[in-house]
Amino acid sequence: MGVQAGVLLCWLHVLCAVVFGDVWKVEVESKMDALVSSCVVLPCTFKYPAQEQPSSRIRAMWHTNTKPEEFIYHNDPTRVKDSFKGRTKLIGSLGDLNCSLEIDGVRNHDNGPYCFRVELVTSIKDKYSFVNNCVTIKMIEKASKPELLAETSVAEGQPVIFKCSVRHTCPSHQPTLSWSHPGTTIMSYKDIGQGTWEAESLLTFTPTKEDDHSSVACTVKYHGSVEGEMQVTHQIFVKEQANLSHFIIPTISGLGAALLVGLLCLIIVIKYKKRIADLQSRNDNTESEAHRLHALLENRVGSSN
């Protein structure tokens, strides 16, 4: 019986290792970017071996990797490190296994690494620190200018769409985008993965002749006192729309020119016809006079004989 009990116990250990060995899990982005003086959200989801608990029975903490007792977030605010007090909060619900952390007013020394710790308030307290899955933050001192996509040559009277977008790491305080040109705007936000989000604005307007050689600017406003290039501009050239006057004026000009040329040709023809008639009339008179003189001469010669 002793041998059988030992074998059974061994199999139970193997079974528990397979079933429960990896139940304590956390998913985070190991490396994140953060814009100094703005905010950053560290995406985080977790699992635990016990039966699912409501948020009220789950305690969450974030601490530094080197000092587990140094909390940057704790359910009890009095235990938070002084330099992080009032700057950190959980985003989402612990009951839904969401442990995402927001750090506001990012400072250039908030690099981390930071690790998540969870404690279950059960009859026997279960707790786990995920020290092998921590987050390191890279500080971005100045923001880069937004990206603007648009056509340079546009047609007068034809609607055009300009797209301006910017990537960021703080979905709890989305940046805003504004335009220098009036029109209809649509804002959208999306998660593009790896702890990065994108804010996008679409501007629709109908160009006029007054927009030719003008510039359209897109300006981004971040949460906090962020430094950097906040604006991007795009110059446009407006192709004038063809209308009825574009056909009538050339047509009238062409007809007028043709009529003038025709009239000049007619005057020239009439003038030269008259000249030819005059010349022919003169020739006829000359021939008649010659005949008359010739007849008179013959008569005189006959009389002499």
C-alpha to C-alpha distance for 169 and 154, rounded to whole angstroms: 35
Task: Check residue 202 and give its pLDDT.
Answer: 96
Domains (range + CATH), the chain:
23-140 (2.60.40.10), 147-239 (2.60.40.10)
Q: Is the pLDDT of residue 118 over 80?
A: yes
The angle subtended at Cα 230 by Cα 228 and Cα 236, nearest 5°, is: 135
**What is the rounded average pLDDT of the residues 103-107?**
94
Contacts of residue 197, defined as CB under 8 A and 6 or more positions apart, other chains included, come to 167, 168, 169, 170, 171, 174, 189, 190, 191
Average pLDDT, the chain: 82
Q: Quote the Cα angle for 61-71-104, to 5°.
A: 85
pLDDT digits (tens, 9 = 90+) for 194-211: 889 999 999 999 998 888
Close Cβ partners of 280 (under 8 Å, ≥ 6 residues apart) = none
**Among the residues of the chain, which ranges form H helices?**
2-20, 244-304
111 versus 296: the higher-pLDDT residue is 111
Better pLDDT: 266 or 54: 54
Please spell the DSSP secondary structure of 182-239, one letter per residue.
Answer: -SEEEEEEEEEETTEEEEEEEEEE---GGGTTEEEEEEEE-SSS--B--EEEEEEEEE
How far apart, in whole angstroms, are the C-alpha atoms of residue 193 and residue 38?
A: 20
pLDDT digits (tens, 9 = 90+) for 215-242: 999 999 999 888 887 899 999 898 877 6
**183 in Cβ contact with 163 (< 8 Å):** no
The helix (run of H) or strand (run of E) holding residue 32 is strand 31-35
Q: How confident is the model at residue 271 (pLDDT cuts 50, 70, 90)?
A: confident
CB burial class (10 A; 0-12, 13-18, 19+) of residue 1? exposed
Residue 304 vs residue 157, higher pLDDT: 157
The answer for residues whose C-beta is within 8 angstroms of residue 107's C-beta and 6 or more apart is: 36, 37, 83
State yes or no: pLDDT of 288 exceeds 80: no
| In contact, 128 and 24? CB cutoff 8 Å | yes
- Which DSSP string corresponds to 117-138? EEEE-SSS-EEEE-TTS-BEEE
- CA–CA dist 223, 229 (Å, integer): 15
Cα-to-chain-centroid distance, residue 134? 33
264 or 60: which leads in pLDDT: 60
Is the backbone of residue 185 left (phi > 0), alpha (psi -120 to 50) or beta? beta
pTM above 0.95, yes or no: no
Query: What integer is the mean pLDDT of 147-165?
Result: 91
Phi-psi region of 92 (alpha: psi -120 to 50; beta: other; left: phi over 0): left
User: For 181, which DSSP code?
Assistant: S
